[in-house]
Amino acid sequence: MNRLLIKGSFGPIGFGTASISGEGGGYGFGSINEDDAISLLKYSYDRGIRLFDTAPVYGFGMAEQRLGKAFSQNRDNIFIVNKAGVTWDRNRRVNMTNDPVVTKKMLEQSLRDLNTDFIDLYMIHWPDPNVDIRKSMEILSKAKLDKKISHIGLCNTNISDLKLALEIDQVEVVQSELNLFNREAINDLIPYLKEHEISF
């Protein structure tokens, strides 16, 4: 992702918007009302943050809506990372699916909730053993052609899915867990990404 951010003059530090899901629930970050959430987003922007990572499930749409409101006047100055694949029912029971129909529907809803014509980096949130990832990638590839998204990425992925996805279109970024306690990505995923010039 550093390669993408450098191109757009965006820094390497990002703001994860699950933290502003607030009363929308879903992630247990605690309550934060809309005014405070928007103030926090603008505060981070004033201090140089330009990368904002979100997903529909963060607050069940609320984080996206707040992000859209905060930057409605300067959308082109921020880099939005968003994802498809984690849905929920009327009782807010979470479900993961990469069904291409759902992927397309989620993208269109995110564009509305974010109040934007495009998303800078759009990712498939999780692998789905019930759906061939190439079907989901076809949706994202078409969306890129239509300029609804600028870049395609995979989140929490594996090399098998990545290889299949690359048959359809370029995957420019992989987002995955890497910290002091989980170092698995260093052994296999990151070497593969380096070989194929995919950002991590």
Q: Which residues are catalytic?
A: 58
Is the distance from CB of 43 to CB of 78 less than 8 angstroms?
no
Beta-bridge partners for 24: none
- The CA distance from 20 to 140, in Å, is 27
Q: For 76, phi and psi rounded to 5 degrees?
A: -70, -10
- The CA distance from 96 to 94, in Å, is 7
Torsion region of 26: left, alpha or beta (phi above 0 gives left; psi -120 to 50 gives alpha): left
